């Protein structure tokens, strides 16, 4: 899915972090632009038209929220947040402000690349003619709304499908509780326990082993993620 021409803008004030990010992205065919602060980052985001932005939330000159808002005011470019603290509220806020996903330091490059690929895929999906999402043994056809597990058709209720559809259309990316509640029930006032119960039912239908779910991952305090890297049971 990643084209060799993809350019990633890395905005982080730590030179060592930038160094390994450059090495990691270049190893996987990305071109890398580095920015050591928000000012340089915003400038590069404007003039160099990157396909993806990796943004550290702890920049010295401007808050991460502010940088996010400014970029989002004119661009839909995928943004992955780097956060030091495993602070759920901070993640949720960044996601609400338009970040596509986050990774918490320390992280391996594989994790960041998986998020980046997922974000890029979602960004380019509008032009994709084959909207089928694969997560291990699970196939979701977003166009025909058909779901199959190991080739067998799975029957889902309307709400169960809506939930799966939302996760599948953000395949590999986290979807927050608020987003899910709003999309499924049409209003955010619905309590999160409805979502928990619905998720439990969905997992019982689509997970090969519901006691050890691998297809839908839980992000405590944030949301859920359809794990496209889950191994297919057929593999």
**Which residues bind to other proteins, rule: CB under 8 A?**
14, 16-17, 19-21, 23-24, 27-28, 84, 86, 88-89, 105-110, 157-160, 177, 191-194, 196-201, 210-213, 217-221
**Toward other proteins, which CB reaches closer, 26 or 128?**
26
| Residues with Cβ within 8 Å of residue 132, at least 6 apart in sequence | 139, 140, 141, 142
**Toward other proteins, which CB reaches closer, 122 or 177?**
177
Helix (H) or strand (E) holding 9: strand 7-11
Nearest distance from C-beta of residue 192 to other proteins, angstroms: 5
**Toward other proteins, which CB reaches closer, 54 or 71?**
54
In Å, how far are 24, 48, 57, 121 from 103, measured between CA atoms?
Answer: 15, 24, 11, 17
Q: Exposure pattern of 128-145 as b/e (b: 16+ CB <10 Å)?
A: eeeeebebbbbbbebeee
Q: Which two tokens stand for residue 18?
A: 């930038």
Nearest distance from C-beta of residue 74 to other proteins, angstroms: 30
Nearest distance from C-beta of residue 41 to other proteins, angstroms: 18
Contact of 118 with 171, CB cutoff 8 Å: yes
**Toward other proteins, which CB reaches closer, 71 or 164?**
164
In Å, how far are 44, 114, 209 from 228, measured between CA atoms?
Answer: 31, 9, 16
Q: Residue 102 has what DSSP assignment?
A: E
Number of H helices and number of E strands within the chain?
8, 12
Nearest distance from C-beta of residue 187 to other proteins, angstroms: 13
Nearest distance from C-beta of residue 125 to other proteins, angstroms: 26
**Toward other proteins, which CB reaches closer, 153 or 158?**
158
**Beta-strand pair 174-176/152-153:** unpaired
Separation between Cα atoms, residue 43 and residue 206, nearest integer Å: 45
**Toward other proteins, which CB reaches closer, 71 or 154?**
154
Note the helical H segments in 57-191. 64-72, 88-96, 109-124, 158-169, 177-185
Nearest distance from C-beta of residue 218 to other proteins, angstroms: 4
**Toward other proteins, which CB reaches closer, 71 or 225?**
225
Nearest distance from C-beta of residue 211 to other proteins, angstroms: 5
């Amino acid at each position: 899915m990643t084209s060799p021409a993809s350019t990633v803008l890395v905005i982080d004030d730590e030179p060592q972090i930038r160094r390994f990010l450059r090495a990691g992205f270049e190893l996987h065919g990305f071109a890398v632009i580095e920015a050591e602060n928000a000012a340089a980052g915003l400038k590069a985001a404007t003039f160099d038209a990157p396909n993806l932005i990796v943004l550290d939330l702890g920049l010295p000159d401007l808050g991460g929220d502010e940088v996010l808002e400014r970029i989002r005011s004119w661009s839909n470019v995928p943004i992955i947040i780097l956060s030091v603290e495993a602070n759920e509220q901070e993640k949720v806020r960044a996601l609400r402000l338009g970040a596509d996903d986050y990774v918490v330091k320390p992280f391996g490059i594989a994790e960041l690349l998986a998020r980046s690929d997922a974000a890029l895929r979602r960004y380019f999906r509008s032009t994709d003619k084959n909207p089928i999402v694969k997560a291990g043994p699970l196939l979701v056809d977003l166009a025909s709304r058909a779901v199959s597990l190991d080739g067998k058709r799975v029957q889902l209720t309307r709400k169960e499908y809506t939930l799966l559809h939302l996760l599948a259309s953000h395949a590999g990316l986290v979807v927050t509780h608020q987003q899910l509640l709003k999309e499924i029930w049409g209003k955010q006032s619905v309590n999160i326990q409805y979502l928990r119960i619905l998720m439990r039912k969905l997992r019982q239908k689509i997970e090969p082993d519901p006691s050890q779910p691998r297809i839908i991952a839980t992000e405590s305090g944030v949301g859920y993620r359809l794990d496209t890297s889950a191994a297919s049971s057929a593999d």
